[in-house]
Chains A and B, each alone.
Chain A
Amino acid sequence: MGSFAIETRSLSKTFVTKRGFWRRKTKSTLAVEDISFNVNQGELFGILGPNGAGKTTTVKMLSTLLLPTSGSISILGLDILKNTLEIRKRIGFTFGGARGLYGRLSARDNLRYFAELYGLAPEITRKRIVELLEMVGLTGREEDRVETFSSGMQQRLHLARALLHNPELIFLDEPTVGIDPVGARELRAAIKTLIARGKTILLTTHYMAEAEELCDRIAIVNKGNIVAMDTPSSLKVRIGRETVIEVDVDQQNLESLKIQLVKLDHLSKVEYSAEKLINRISIHTSEPENILRLLGPFLQAKSIQGLEVRNQTMEDVYVAIIQGEKK
Chain B
Amino acid sequence: MILDQLRLVSRQVNVQLRMRTFNWYTVALFFLQPAVFSAVGMILSRAAGNQAPDLVYTVIGGGIMGMWSGLVFSSTYDIRSDRREGTLELIVGSPTSLRKVEAIRTFSNVMAGLVSLLAAFLAAVFIFKYPLQQVNVPGVLISLILLLFGLWSLGVFLANFLVWSRLSGSLVDFLELPVAVLCGFMYPIQILPNWMQGISAIFPIRWALQAMQASLQGSEINGIIWQKWGLALAISLVFWSISLWLDRKVHNMIRLTGELSSI
Given A67-B252, A102-B19, A116-B11, A95 and B89 contact (CB-CB distance below 8 Å): yes
Q: Which residues of B contact A122 (CB under 8 A)?
A: 7
Given A67-B252, A67-B256, A88 and B21 contact (CB-CB distance below 8 Å): no
CB under 8 Å from chain B, chain A span 52-78: 57, 60, 63-67
Q: Which residues of A contact B255 (CB under 8 A)?
A: 64-67
A100 touches B89 (CB 8 A): yes
A93 touches B11 (CB 8 A): no
Q: Is B260 an interface residue (CB 8 A)?
A: yes
Q: Is A37 an interface residue (CB 8 A)?
A: no
B94 touches A101 (CB 8 A): no
Given A105-B19, A113-B11, A116-B7, A99 and B85 contact (CB-CB distance below 8 Å): yes
CB under 8 Å from chain A, chain B span 243-258: 252, 255-258
Q: Is B86 an interface residue (CB 8 A)?
A: yes
B95 touches A118 (CB 8 A): yes
Q: Which residues of A contact B84 (CB under 8 A)?
A: 99
A116 to B3 Cα, complex, angstroms: 12
Q: Is B199 an interface residue (CB 8 A)?
A: no
B93 touches A89 (CB 8 A): no
Q: Is A149 an interface residue (CB 8 A)?
A: no
B87 touches A109 (CB 8 A): no
B90 touches A114 (CB 8 A): yes
Q: Is B96 an interface residue (CB 8 A)?
A: yes
Given A65-B255, A99-B85, A122-B7, A105 and B90 contact (CB-CB distance below 8 Å): no
Question: Number of residues in B with C-beta < 8 Å to the partner?
Answer: 30
B19 touches A104 (CB 8 A): yes
B8 touches A116 (CB 8 A): yes
Given A65-B255, A66-B258, A101-B85, A109 and B18 contact (CB-CB distance below 8 Å): yes
A64, A89, A112, A114: which has the most chain B beta carbons within 10 Å?
Answer: A114
B89 touches A117 (CB 8 A): no
A119 touches B96 (CB 8 A): yes
Q: Mark A91-130, 1 if CB is under 8 A from B, else 0.
A: 0010101011111110001001110111100100000000
How far apart are A16's CB and chain B's nearest CB, in angstroms? 8
B18 touches A105 (CB 8 A): yes
A101 to B82 Cα, complex, angstroms: 9
B14, B21, B258, B260: which has the most chain A beta carbons within 10 Å?
Answer: B258
A102 touches B94 (CB 8 A): no
How far apart are A48's CB and chain B's nearest CB, in angstroms? 22
Q: Which residues of A contact B95 (CB under 8 A)?
A: 85, 88-89, 117-119
Query: In chain B, what residue has the closest Cβ to A121?
Result: B4
Given A15-B257, A67-B255, A88 and B94 contact (CB-CB distance below 8 Å): yes
How far apart are B257's CB and chain A's nearest CB, in angstroms? 7
Given A102-B19, A104-B18, A109-B15, A117 and B91 contact (CB-CB distance below 8 Å): yes
Picked from A99, A102, A103, the residue with its CB within 8 Å of the CB of B15 is A102
A117 touches B18 (CB 8 A): no
Given A99-B85, A116-B8, A104 and B21 contact (CB-CB distance below 8 Å): yes
Q: Is B92 an interface residue (CB 8 A)?
A: yes
A116 to B257 Cα, complex, angstroms: 27
Query: In chain B, what residue has the closest Cβ to A64?
Result: B93
Picked from A65, A88, A102, A109, the residue with its CB within 8 Å of the CB of B85 is A102
A93 touches B93 (CB 8 A): yes
CB under 8 Å from chain A, chain B span 108-127: none
Q: Which residues of A contact B89 (CB under 8 A)?
A: 60, 65, 95, 100
B4 touches A119 (CB 8 A): yes
Q: Which residues of B contact A102 (CB under 8 A)?
A: 15, 19, 85, 87
Query: In chain A, what residue has the closest Cβ to B19?
Result: A104
12 CB contacts below 8 A, A to B, read A66-B256, A88-B94, A99-B85, A100-B86, A100-B87, A102-B19, A103-B85, A105-B19, A113-B11, A114-B90, A117-B101, A161-B90
Closest 6 CB pairs of A and B: A99-B86, A117-B94, A100-B86, A67-B255, A116-B11, A117-B96
Give A residues with C-beta under 8 Å from B: 15-16, 57, 60, 63-67, 85, 88-89, 93, 95, 97, 99-105, 109, 112-114, 116-119, 122, 161
